[in-house]
């Protein structure tokens, strides 16, 4: 009997990031070969011995790529990342993480027009 396989994602954000990347590729925003080249170059810069930084690198490449493609502005991505960090710090244990928990009221609302489809 073999040992159970480890889950492919350690956290929900990793699965969501992967799904977003695949969705942008399938929508024709970039070729997978271009993604693989960029991600491979980032990983070659020096991954952690235990590969714990794999999805951190994936996120770095994703943010740069979507900004370069004009799908989101770098400043907006940085603002959202800061808002998520504040929300995470302000969210009590056991409560679902949401941008509404950002004490500074950051994040993008439904009427935010800085994002492109």
Give per-residue pLDDT as tens, 63-104. Answer: 999 999 999 998 998 898 899 889 999 999 888 888 888 999
Could you tell me if 87 and 102 are in contact, meaning their C-beta atoms sit under 8 angstroms apart? Answer: yes
Local confidence band at 115 (pLDDT 50, 70, 90 cut-offs): very low
Look at 97 and 110; give whichever has higher pLDDT.
97
Query: Cα separation of 88 and 74, whole Å?
Result: 21
Query: Cα separation of 15 and 10, whole Å?
Result: 8
The pLDDT tens digits of the residues spanning 26-55 come to 999 999 999 999 999 999 998 888 888 999
């Amino acid at each position: 009997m073999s040992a159970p396989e480890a889950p492919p994602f350690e956290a929900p954000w990793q699965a969501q990031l992967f799904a977003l990347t695949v969705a942008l590729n399938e929508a024709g925003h970039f070729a997978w070969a271009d993604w693989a080249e960029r991600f491979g170059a980032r990983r070659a810069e020096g991954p952690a011995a235990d590969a714990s930084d794999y999805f951190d690198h994936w996120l770095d490449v994703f943010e740069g790529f979507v900004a370069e493609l004009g799908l989101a502005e770098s400043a907006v991505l940085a603002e959202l990342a800061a808002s998520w960090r504040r929300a995470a710090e302000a969210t009590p244990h056991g409560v679902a993480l949401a941008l509404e928990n950002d004490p500074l009221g950051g994040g993008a609302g439904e009427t935010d027009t800085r994002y492109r489809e």
